[in-house]
Structure 1
Amino acid sequence: MGCCLSKSQDSDSAAQQQQQTPQLHVHVYDDDDDDDDTILGKAYEDIKLHFTIAEELCRGESGRIYLCTENSTGLQFACKSISKTSKSDEGYLKREPNIVQLKSVYEDERFMHIVMEHCDGGTLVDRISDRERYTERAAASVFRSVVNALHACHSNGIMHRDLKPENFIFTTDDENATLKATDFGLAFFFEEGKVYEEVVGTPLYMAPELLGPCKYGKEIDIWSAGLILYNLLSGAQPFWAESLYGTLTAIMSREIDFKSDPWPTISSSAKDLIRRMLIRDPNNRITVAQILKHPWLNYENGEARDRPIDTAIISRSNEQTKETCPLKVIVENLPAEENTEAQGTLNNMDTNDSGTPTLR
């Protein structure tokens, strides 16, 4: 699903949209000349018959997100257009409260067009940076939504594989707006107990088992969520480095920093949860169910402190999340001197010269 970052131009329409629960409707015409290559099993249909497509809101690993208006109601939605060569498993999470909701799906010769609710409350990083007062307890409240979304994925047999703060957005600007997960372009169905070998994701949030020998399961999502929590509480990334090679090396060997500010003022319970999520051996890593039961996330008697966290420290997160795009894209855009070193690392993971890192 896509991330929708721009502000709505029509607040009344946006309010009406939030009051309704979008349902999945596949709009296609019956036709005796159905194309055998269709994914939906029906004839192609032009999405523009039903929606007016406006400006691009953002783009992700698997497609671009556009603001669109339903012709029959005037309500605003977001439309993600995905190349039919890179399908994902987004539709199976349409009723989850912390997952962006689908409205309808259209198909033409080149793309699948997924129309979904338009969320204009900004990303998780935006919301934290804009706060005048931010506490550990507030971070716990936000992180519960992250974990609930992850629980919904794993309960449906779906591995996200690209969890990061930019892939969580708020429905509105309201203080109590719902946080929702987006961009399932790298997600896919997994089999319990089976190991996978395709290297995917964003370097800063990649689990060590992705970096060779690459054999992983759903536990990689736990690792990524642990890094989101670390960032929520400190504004920093424990494995950030000046170069891609340095980042990948740090993921494999660097100790987690709990000595720099603001960690001395953060509860031991929060640090315990992070440690359990960032265990390098995936077999010993905490599970989603165990995270939800951790005392730091307890709704009423949780151990998260109400002491303010310095927002100046939190705001530095913007400096350490510049590399939050897919691994291959980063390598291709590095300066020449860094590209050679990083490309060598990437090539060690690539077996077929396809540009998509896989196990050697």
Structure 2
Amino acid sequence: MPSLLAQIKGALALDANASNTTRAHHAPAAGELASVQDIYEKMEKIGEGHFAEVYRVVHRETGQSYALKTIKKKRIPKGKEKVVKREIDILSRVAGHPNIVGLLPEDSFFETDRSYHLVMTLCTGGELFDVIVQRGYLAESEAALIIHQVTEALKYLHSIGIVHRDIKPDNLLIKDKDAPKMQVMVTDFGLSRTLDYEGQILLTACGTPGYLAPEVLSNLGHNTPADMWSLGCVTYVLLSGNMPFFAETTGGIFEKILKGEYEFDPECWDEVSANAKDFVRKLLTLDPDERMTAEEALRHPWLEYYFPSDPNIEPEADGPVAALSAE
């Protein structure tokens, strides 16, 4: 059977006006095409955008709940069809990763003349941003738990040539608010790009102002290190409750980013470990070639303290193995 990605690429290449049938992956029987309604029961609406709606659905055989994103083709702005297909392609590539909201490994993509239907992991715990608003800042063990998971996700994305380009707390979802240990999921690949070759430079500036890397702003081109800068900003926010680059205007924020001008205010950072500060410094490094990669970040002493790469080393007793919820 062709891979999920190959099947999706084939479906997207078909003329949408050629047939009224619904195309699905992993059809229930040879030669039989299933519709999304055959496999899933649609429940309540849980989200809505300009040209997409998101529902909770229940798998009819297993009873498991998932998120169904339905994209109405007629609502896609003219000229944006390529962007939508690119996002679907990326979602198929990341299917099944424990810290990325992508398509399910099977029964996940359906297309009709009018719509694309994408079945993905359901996250019920809300955005990490809301946790920060409620809590102000997190203990180091809690922040390390989150950053370790996001870094694992970035390591995987970068290994398959995907640059996210909008890493921020709003795009980090909590899978289950009632779970004993927080599971964080990277989402929203609307600005993401797949590199055509190793070392390719992207030139289109995009992202969220406070989390943009300096090379994005300077228009010199960017690549995977831009995601690592954003990760440094997220780490700073989790540990202090503040943005590393703050000014009254967007222009002022950009000026500070381009200079790498931030500080560890003693009022917020006095009790934060030297390793945590060093982790932030090595991500908020102006030169992208000198910035830590995802692999290097996972081996940094701060994350190694809580998540030893050597399986024979026991995690710290007060580390994030203890319960951590979104409450």
Range into which the TM-score falls when normalised by the shorter chain = 0.7 to 0.9
Larger mean Cα displacement after TM superposition, 61-70 or 90-99: 61-70
Structure 1 equivalent of residue 120 of structure 2: 116
**In 1: Cα distance, 2:317 partner to 2:253 partner:** 31
Q: Tell me which of 159, 182, 187 is aligned to 1:182.
A: 187
| 2:246 equivalent to 1:268 | no
Compared with structure 1, are the counterparts of its residues 52 and 27 closer, same or farther at alpha carbon in structure 2 (3 Å cutoff)?
Answer: farther
What amino acid is the match of 1:286? M
What amino acid is the match of 1:253? K
Q: In the alignment, is the contact (CA less than 8 A) between 2:45 and 2:54 conserved in 1?
A: yes
What amino acid is the match of 2:188? D
What amino acid is the match of 1:297? L
> Matched residue pairs, number?
280
Deviation, 1:69, is: 3.3
Structure 2 equivalent of residue 95 of structure 1: 96
Output aligned runs, 1:140-159, within 5 Å.
Answer: 140-159=144-163
**In 2: Cα distance, 1:192 partner to 1:211 partner:** 22
Output aligned runs, 1:296-311, within 5 Å.
Answer: 296-298=302-304, 299-300=307-308
SS of equivalent residue, structure 2 residue 154: helix
Deviation, 1:44, is: 3.7
SS of equivalent residue, structure 1 residue 151: helix
Structure 2 equivalent of residue 172 of structure 1: 176
Output aligned runs, 1:311-350, within 5 Å.
Answer: none
Larger mean Cα displacement after TM superposition, 92-101 or 195-204: 92-101
Compared with structure 1, are the counterparts of its residues 26 and 105 closer, same or farther at alpha carbon in structure 2 (3 Å cutoff)?
Answer: farther
Larger mean Cα displacement after TM superposition, 97-106 or 281-290: 97-106
Q: In the alignment, is the contact (CA less than 8 A) between 2:137 and 2:240 conserved in 1?
A: no
Output aligned runs, 1:197-208, within 5 Å.
Answer: 197-208=203-214
Q: In the alignment, is the contact (CA less than 8 A) between 1:106 and 1:112 conserved in 2?
A: yes
Deviation, 1:282, is: 1.0
| 2:66 equivalent to 1:77 | yes
**In 1: Cα distance, 2:114 partner to 2:256 partner:** 40
What amino acid is the match of 2:187? T
Structure 2 equivalent of residue 248 of structure 1: 254
Q: TM-score, with normalisation over the residues of structure 2?
A: 0.73
Q: Deviations over 1:104-132 (max 9, x none)?
A: 11112344221112111222233455569
Deviation, 1:148, is: 0.5
**In 1: Cα distance, 2:293 partner to 2:302 partner:** 15
Q: In the alignment, is the contact (CA less than 8 A) between 2:205 and 2:219 conserved in 1?
A: no
Compared with structure 1, are the counterparts of its residues 217 and 133 closer, same or farther at alpha carbon in structure 2 (3 Å cutoff)?
Answer: closer
Structure 1 equivalent of residue 325 of structure 2: none
Deviation, 1:178, is: 1.9
Deviation, 1:77, is: 1.4
Compared with structure 1, are the counterparts of its residues 132 and 194 closer, same or farther at alpha carbon in structure 2 (3 Å cutoff)?
Answer: closer
What amino acid is the match of 2:158? H
Larger mean Cα displacement after TM superposition, 244-253 or 276-285: 244-253
Deviation, 1:196, is: 1.2
Deviation, 1:281, is: 1.5
Structure 1 equivalent of residue 29 of structure 2: none
Q: What percentage of residue pairs aligned between the two structures are identical?
A: 34
Q: Tell me which of 153, 161, 173 is aligned to 2:165.
A: 161
Deviation, 1:244, is: 2.5
**In 2: Cα distance, 1:112 partner to 1:293 partner:** 40
Deviation, 1:62, is: 8.3
Q: Tell me which of 209, 215, 236 is aligned to 1:209.
A: 215
Q: Tell me which of 96, 110, 129 is aligned to 1:125.
A: 129
Deviation, 1:54, is: 4.4
**In 1: Cα distance, 2:13 partner to 2:272 partner:** 58
SS of equivalent residue, structure 1 residue 282: coil
Q: In the alignment, is the contact (CA less than 8 A) between 1:61 and 1:185 conserved in 2?
A: no
Query: Cα RMSD over matched residues?
Result: 3.6
Compared with structure 1, are the counterparts of its residues 120 and 69 closer, same or farther at alpha carbon in structure 2 (3 Å cutoff)?
Answer: same
Structure 1 unmatched ranges of 5 or more:
1-22, 29-33, 308-360
**In 2: Cα distance, 1:163 partner to 1:142 partner:** 13
Q: In the alignment, is the contact (CA less than 8 A) between 1:81 and 1:114 conserved in 2?
A: yes
Q: TM-score, with normalisation over the residues of structure 1?
A: 0.67
**In 1: Cα distance, 2:170 partner to 2:147 partner:** 14
Structure 2 equivalent of residue 37 of structure 1: 15
Compared with structure 1, are the counterparts of its residues 92 and 77 closer, same or farther at alpha carbon in structure 2 (3 Å cutoff)?
Answer: same
Deviation, 1:261, is: 2.4
**In 2: Cα distance, 1:304 partner to 1:249 partner:** 40
